[in-house]
Amino acid sequence: MSVASPPLSQVESPRLGKHFRGSNLVLAASAIGAVLELGSQVMAVRHLSTPAFGAFAFALAVALFLQGVAQFGMPLAVSRFAPMLREADDEGGVMGVVAIAIGVALGLGAILAVLVMAFALLAPASILSPASAHALRILALMIPLEAVIAVATSVFAVFGRTRAIIVRGSLVTPGLKCAATALVLLAGGDVTALAAGYLASSAIGALLACWLVVGILRDTGLVARVRGPRRWPTRDLLPFAAVALTTTLVWSVLEMSDAILLGFLRGPDDVAEMRAITPLMRGHTLISAAFIVFFTPLAATYLARADAGGMQELYVRTSAWLAALAFPLLLMTSAFAGVLVDTLYGARYAGSGTVLLILSIGYFVQTASGFNGQTLKIHGLLRFTMAVDACAMIVNLGVNVLLIPKYGATGAAIGTTSTLLAHNTLKQIGMRRFTGVHLADRGFLRLLGVGAALVGCVVLVDRLAAPTLPVALVITAVATAVLIRTAGGVLQIPEYFPASRRVPVLRWLVSDRGHGS
């Protein structure tokens, strides 16, 4: 049954300011990390042959897909249960949740790593190329390491440790990967050496994450206050985590199955065409990841307090911020997809421009729709979420198997985008029907409407003038400023960032136009 909530402007939400300030700070650091990872990708693409880069991309896709499986939904489970247990002053339960989550991620990740290494050793060359097999045997060891890092990041968010998220996740690991890539390529290393460099970067990141988790538990006094045996809330945690795993699998399938299926059904060249533009789409993931680490614990707190109005405001404001931040990325990867790919990778990857354009639509819808899946799970709608996620996985794999043999990377992009559109539509319908949370807010819809009009104008400019990349960046910046000025009231920037009132240009850009709700 739908739960009515008061207008957004009438809802008291003092914690939202901290949520948005922390999320934007994490996003800024993540952007630096994304530039470092993009640099790694560009260096690898330009210095390795297309088959060699395709082999490395295939092995990395397998490892990243399986690290999502190894997480077993534990990051989301920590974000949901730990805040509620803290509200109830159950220190033993909090410690139990953290211990179970890390143990599951490490144990399941180790099992999957062994299985992948065995497959890479035994698979014949007709199924797995020698270069892919060598890289896969090394990158398989990343599976438990990356799974533990994901759990640790959820722990950082629960305890509000923005600095830990920034240092560990946004700066150190991407910097290490970029440095490793540069050293390997300067030394004339091959795909195997590059895979070893990535593995070393993950190992250092995992050790740092575990060290920070232990420090947080000690600093907050949880270790000292817990007396006697820890409480192990497995009965609540594991079923929730199992459902959360389906969402992780859906996203992993959408991100990684295209490369894996292209590798089996077409070959390394098509994998390279698809994976070359993956870092550009990763911008959407960065934006969402920066906000979800704080959104989930705050939403769980609102649910524990039965604050329907706070939950509605949190969802709408967060979705508006996600849409506004993803807007310039949408322009660059759709209207200017051709010039972007040509400038970064050269004529060899001209076909990737069409792939990027198709994917940009689905990824923007995914980002701007907000955290609908997380909201459903936080409200306990596990069966509905599992059913929708399972359907999305089946549809995505089916469409890709049908389209990839004939259309290659373009077919994979069509399959991924169509799945994203259908998946988010179903989740929005279920969220409104069962929780009362929705996006039918006047300010949010105005933001989308103005954004759509601006995209149309920019596409027309691109067709008429064919601007260079620097000019495209200027056009994107101007269009984004117009969006914020004309429809940015729903973001409430002056309320969440009071310092913006003291900067002349920003003061004009974000001047109060009402909340737009």
pLDDT tens digits, one per residue of 284-322: 888 887 788 778 888 888 887 888 888 998 999 999 999
Q: What is the DSSP letter of 231?
A: P
Q: What is the CA radius of gyration of the chain?
A: 22
**AA letter at 355:** V
**AA letter at 229:** P
Contact criterion met (CB below 8 Å) for 58 and 268: yes
Token pair recorded at residue 167? 């240092």
Cα distance between the two ends of the chain: 23
How many other C-beta atoms can be found within 10 angstroms of the C-beta atom of residue 348?
15
Say how far apart CA 460 and CA 284 lie, in whole Å. 24
Three-class secondary structure of residue 110 per DSSP? helix
pLDDT tens digits, one per residue of 51-77: 888 888 888 888 888 888 888 888 878
Q: What is the tally of helices (H) and strands (E) in the chain?
A: 23, 0
Residue-level length of the chain:
517
Mean pLDDT, residues 357-376: 93
Q: Say what the pLDDT of residue 357 is.
A: 92
Task: Report residue 408: phi and psi, to 5°.
Answer: 65, -135
pLDDT tens digits, one per residue of 3-52: 444 444 444 445 666 667 767 777 777 777 777 877 887 888 777 787 88
Token pair recorded at residue 269? 């060249």
Contact criterion met (CB below 8 Å) for 362 and 284: no
Calculate the CA 344 to chain-centre distance.
23
Q: What is the DSSP letter of 230?
A: P
Say how far apart CA 487 and CA 510 lie, in whole Å. 10
Residues 6+ apart with CB under 8 A from 252: 64, 65, 68, 69
Q: Say what the pLDDT of residue 1 is.
A: 38
Contact criterion met (CB below 8 Å) for 371 and 296: yes
Per-residue pLDDT for 154 more than 80?
Answer: yes
Residues 351, 357, 361: CA angle, nearest 5 degrees: 155
pLDDT band at 208 (very low <50, low <70, confident <90, very high): confident
Say how far apart CA 454 and CA 327 lie, in whole Å. 10
Q: What is the DSSP letter of 171?
A: I
Say how far apart CA 98 and CA 101 lie, in whole Å. 5
pTM of the model: 0.70
**AA letter at 408:** G
Three-class secondary structure of residue 19 per DSSP? helix
Residues 6+ apart with CB under 8 A from 180: 40, 194, 197, 198, 200, 201
Question: pLDDT exceeding 90 applies to what percent of the chain?
Answer: 26
Per-residue pLDDT for 243 more than 50?
Answer: yes
Q: Which of 12-16, 170-174, 419-423 has the lowest mean pLDDT?
A: 12-16
Own/partner pairs for 116-124, CB < 8 Å, 24+ apart?
A: 116/62, 116/63, 116/66, 116/140, 116/143, 117/141
Calculate the CA 422 to chain-centre distance.
19
Residues 6+ apart with CB under 8 A from 66: 109, 112, 116, 140, 143
Task: Report residue 121: phi and psi, to 5°.
Answer: -75, -35
Say how far apart CA 433 and CA 143 lie, in whole Å. 37
Per-residue pLDDT for 229 more than 80?
Answer: no
